[in-house]
Structure 1
Amino acid sequence: MLKKVCVALGISLMIGLTGTAHAQEDQSLQRIKDRGTIKIGLMLDFPPYASSGAGNKPDGYDAEVAQMLADYLGVKVEPVITTGPNRIPYLLTDKADVLVASLAITPERQEQVQFSNPYSAASMVLLGPADIVVDSPADFTKYKIGVPRASTTDIGVMKIAPEGTDIRRFDDDASALQAMIVGQVDLAGTSTVIASEVQKRHPGKFEVRYVINEQVMGVTMQKDRPELEAAVNAFLKEKLADGSLDKAFEKWLGTPLPASVHAASN
């Protein structure tokens, strides 16, 4: 009899704990709606994805997606300015509810955070002077390579770089690229979009010397928040279907939204 009572109590306790867990999960989205604002982490040093616009307000593709998400949820945007290295720490310490900060979806990051379906994509490349030749990763050891610390570019270069490659890490894309421009490093790892901006500012001086990979990016949130994840994915599905994301990407980046975003979201 005692054993049956204990088992029954155990089952009741498990049900209670499960119910509590689901209640906590549900609260993540409800808290945003009750507060009337969503705290969205943005990187303002990553144009044309995000930069500081008129009146120091966030501008760019990520900023526009952030505003669309807030409108979809019926709340206002509370921008949280982040850097590459502190994006995930800000998210995990509740300084931000979500990140719309060009964060590429990788297995390593998926162990820490939850990603939505993709909303963007970019190729990671090595940019450098036109006279530098990089036919394969074996050539990396000939040069000093600058990358944004802890970025997907950093990870991508490390995965394919031979032992002895001189990888130099900087706080952000702008710092790594500036180091390349002044000759502190020979090559800089960055996205094709940012590489294009550098090439426009320095015509004929720099070219893409090697393509590292293409990666899709997702809106990022803490794990175990299924209600919030479902809402973000529903938002992305709607905006992909009605062409809003395509229009915004074309506006800010001057190219069509990569097919990989549509393919990964189907």
Structure 2
Amino acid sequence: MKAGFRAVVVALGFLAAGLLSSVEARADKLADILSKGVVRITVFADVPPFGMMNANRELEGFDIDMAKLVAKALGVKLELLPVPAASRIPFLLTDKSDMNIAAMSITAERARQIMYSAPYADTSLAVYGAKGLALKSAADIGRNRVAVAKGTTEDLVLTALAPGADIMRTEDNATAVQAYLSGHAQLLAANSVVVVELAKKNPAKEFDFKFALRRAPAHVTVRLGEHTLLRWLDTLIFQSTLNGDLDELHKKWLGGPMQPLPAL
């Protein structure tokens, strides 16, 4: 064997060993969760009925119960991490959380960084305002300001539909709602289920449906490449659909039984 060829073979051997070591060093996320005995899940704390603080300053809501379901099925402790919408993906990418359960719907752009489970809840996104405002589509927004939480699907869809609109992007959902309630914005882009809760708590404010943005099933999300954890989540969602657990959560938090959801 010539010296030059031998050197190449040795170098390739070291490279292969290094790659193998790197793969072994990066533990599978599901195995990592089970080993540590804790699952870290990002959730909302300001988006009722998915996640909010109750009178005792405790987190509750559909997604909170979903997170508890995940932790129970894994047999580990649950660490809830309340975050604004824009922080959900960064927390996954920087390994500050293991998964996100905060009413996240699918976009092709997000799918370049994260992976989506099968849907576990079905909702829709729309724009709302006072009854006196005559709007039927994004083209009718005109000079009306629209409040929306930065980084949400409603923000992305609304921006694509009305790039020239006066969109007030806030740091979180609560601030967007407050901007609409206070009159700093004439319109609110939000989840249909969230608006139902807002209307109940703010009877003096009108939340009249103006136009739809898109249907928006909610999915659990994990970091790109965590296929084993994603497969486990899909299995849990399938099982929870069959045994009625998800139906009970829909009745408890969304006001009705679970409807058939589209396949991913």
Residues in 1 aligned to 2:101 and 2:263: alpha-carbon distance in whole angstroms: 18
**Cα drift, residue 201 of structure 1:** 2.8
**Cα drift, residue 10 of structure 1:** 3.5
Q: Residue 264 of structure 1 corresponds to which residue in structure 2?
A: 263
Higher mean alpha-carbon deviation, 251-260 vs 142-151, is at: 251-260
TM-score, normalised with respect to structure 1: 0.89
Aligned partner letter, 2:198: V
SS at match of 2:86: coil
Residues in 2 aligned to 1:158 and 1:256: alpha-carbon distance in whole angstroms: 32
Unmatched segments (≥5 aa) in structure 1: none
Higher mean alpha-carbon deviation, 248-257 vs 199-208, is at: 199-208
Q: CA RMSD in A?
A: 2.3
**Cα drift, residue 174 of structure 1:** 2.0
Q: Do 1:25 and 1:227's aligned partners in 2 also have CA atoms closer than 8 Å? A: no
SS at match of 1:85: helix
Q: Do 1:80 and 1:95's aligned partners in 2 also have CA atoms closer than 8 Å? A: no
**What does residue range 11-50 of structure 1 map to in structure 2 within 5 Å?**
13-14=15-16, 17=19, 20-21=22-23, 23-24=24-25, 26-50=27-51
Q: Residue 190 of structure 1 corresponds to which residue in structure 2?
A: 190
> Is it true that 1:167 corresponds to 2:188 in the alignment?
no
CA 1:92–1:253 in structure 2 vs 1: closer, same or farther (change >3 Å)?
A: same
Q: Do 2:84 and 2:173's aligned partners in 1 also have CA atoms closer than 8 Å? A: no
Q: Residue 224 of structure 1 corresponds to which residue in structure 2?
A: 225
Q: Residue 236 of structure 1 corresponds to which residue in structure 2?
A: 237
Residues in 2 aligned to 1:212 and 1:155: alpha-carbon distance in whole angstroms: 10
**Cα drift, residue 258 of structure 1:** 4.0
**Cα drift, residue 115 of structure 1:** 1.7
Q: What CA deviation, in whole Å up to 9, does each residue of 1:139-197 have, x standing for no partner?
A: 01241111111211111101111x53111111222221221222111100000011111
Unmatched segments (≥5 aa) in structure 2: none
Q: Residue 149 of structure 1 corresponds to which residue in structure 2?
A: 150
> Is it true that 1:111 corresponds to 2:112 in the alignment?
yes
Q: Residue 210 of structure 2 corresponds to which residue in structure 1?
A: 209
Q: Do 2:150 and 2:172's aligned partners in 1 also have CA atoms closer than 8 Å? A: yes
**Cα drift, residue 14 of structure 1:** 4.1
Aligned partner letter, 2:219: G
Q: What CA deviation, in whole Å up to 9, does each residue of 1:185-238 have, x standing for no partner?
A: 110000001111122234473211111111222111111122211221211111
SS at match of 2:135: coil
**Cα drift, residue 28 of structure 1:** 1.6
Aligned pairs, number: 261
SS at match of 2:177: helix
Q: Percent identity at matched positions?
A: 30
Residues in 1 aligned to 2:82 and 2:138: alpha-carbon distance in whole angstroms: 35
Higher mean alpha-carbon deviation, 47-56 vs 166-175, is at: 47-56
Residues in 2 aligned to 1:125 and 1:238: alpha-carbon distance in whole angstroms: 31
Residues in 1 aligned to 2:228 and 2:6: alpha-carbon distance in whole angstroms: 36
Aligned partner letter, 1:264: A
The structure richer in helix per residue is 1
**Cα drift, residue 56 of structure 1:** 2.9
**Cα drift, residue 70 of structure 1:** 0.6
Q: Do 1:134 and 1:209's aligned partners in 2 also have CA atoms closer than 8 Å? A: yes
Residues in 2 aligned to 1:202 and 1:138: alpha-carbon distance in whole angstroms: 28
Residues in 2 aligned to 1:42 and 1:33: alpha-carbon distance in whole angstroms: 20
Q: Do 1:40 and 1:66's aligned partners in 2 also have CA atoms closer than 8 Å? A: yes
**What does residue range 51-200 of structure 1 map to in structure 2 within 5 Å?**
51-53=52-54, 55-161=56-162, 163-200=163-200
Higher mean alpha-carbon deviation, 243-252 vs 47-56, is at: 47-56
Residues in 1 aligned to 2:121 and 2:26: alpha-carbon distance in whole angstroms: 26
Q: What CA deviation, in whole Å up to 9, does each residue of 1:53-88 have, x standing for no partner?
A: 364332111001101101111111011121111111
SS at match of 1:56: coil
